[in-house]
Amino acid sequence: MTLTVLVTVFIVTMAMGIPIAFVFGVGTIIYFVFFGNIPITIIGQQLYNGVDSFVLLAIPFFILAGQLMNRTGITKDLINFVQILVGRLPGALAQVNIVVSILFAGLTGAAVADTAAIGSILIPAMKEEGYSASYSAAVTTTSSIIGPIIPPSIIMVIYGTVTGESIGALFMGGFIPGVLIGLGLMMLALFYAIRDHHPRRTEPIPKQEIFQRTKSAIIGLIMPVIIIGGILSGKFTATEAASLACGYAFLVGLLIYRSLTLKDILESLLECAVVSSVILLIISTAKLFGLVLTIERIPAQIAQIMLSVTESKIMFLLLVNAFLLFMGMIMETGANVILLAPILLPLATKYGVHPLHFALIMIVNVNIGLTTPPLGVCLFTAVPIAKTSYESIAIEALPFIAIEVLVLLLITYIPELVLIIPRLTGFL
């Protein structure tokens, strides 16, 4: 009875368009008022405990660092640098778009920021060269999910906080899946370029300009080196790395580019406050909702059902992937991780899946949801930039999403693709 009511409330509030944080909150309050034997005063205590973590400080720091870097002009420098590398391939701007997303991943760790920053420059440029608006937006949105997979990654910080998994190990495990997705998208873009005769650059870039573009890009490329290098060396934690990234972004914008104004700083702080507040509110209410699930022993019931369905690890992983792909369509990535990771991780370990391997499967999976309707946050972000319909972008994105699902299956059934770098760097 209790489970039926909770599921009904969850579905109805989601269908009404209520923000996910309040969906969790409403379900929890109904439970404590009508079904629970626990004092309702525990709600405030649990909401506070949900975000009372030093690790979670990395979230606003990474968001602020990304906002500051976006406003310095580093995005344009990265695009100019990548044009040296892949600008002469067929479908040059589509290839540039994807490779820039790989490099940009080391600056923000957020897919929506990637879509907005890169899309605002490259989508209009692609349209001018003859690419359709929907194709330009599809390339931008599907490549933007590389941002939360290659470190630093906000969703990895959340996962590490919820499950206790090493954030450093998560960061190291994200490199190969992120690069594989990038390479897969580039191959598909190459196919479209050859089939549809997309433009390419034929003239060589002068050596002096190559030197200048590389020099300008190095400033931005140093930041992920600082973050990952510091974590690998043990000099600082992910949270300390995030704060250092903020300081670096501030100094670069103020002293080197000299493009960071007081207005930019204030807007970055405001955006950081809003986005961080939303994420932390989701974390807080989802943890409270998770307490209700634990009290009702719902995770144990789910585990029992799954174990009765199949004893095969291969089938279990296939079912989990299908379930997470569906959840990614209807619920935000952070909420999926906070709610489902504590339920699915113990079950995965019973099937003999390595915890870090499962973590990367889940992180890659839910990030694909950023480009799948009906939620598809990155798709919505690209609509006003491309000046086309949501539906046309979603349809154009389907082949690229298929490539991402293929990579997901590769890392699911070839664990070493995820585990090899953490092993080599001493995290396993």
pLDDT for position 3: 63
Inside any domain, residue 336:
yes
Residues 138, 20: one domain?
A: no
pLDDT for position 411: 97
Q: What is the mean pLDDT of each run of 10 residues along the chain (428 residues)?
A: 70 76 79 72 76 78 81 80 83 90 76 81 88 94 92 88 90 94 95 88 78 82 78 76 84 84 89 84 79 73 75 91 88 84 90 95 93 83 88 93 96 96 89
Residues 348, 374: one domain?
A: yes
pLDDT for position 108: 67
Residues 161, 29: one domain?
A: no
pLDDT for position 2: 64
Residues 268, 344: one domain?
A: yes
Q: Which amino acid, residue 371? A: T
Inside any domain, residue 47:
no
Inside any domain, residue 35:
yes
- Tell me the residue range of the domain where 18 lies: 1-40
Inside any domain, residue 45:
no
Residues 199, 59: one domain?
A: yes
The total number of structural domains that make up the chain: 2
Question: From residue 13, how far is each of 7, 19, 52, 207 by CA, in Å?
Answer: 10, 8, 27, 59
Residues 14, 73: one domain?
A: no
Inside any domain, residue 182:
yes
Residues 212, 278: one domain?
A: yes
> Residue with structure tokens 């379900």?
27
Inside any domain, residue 49:
no
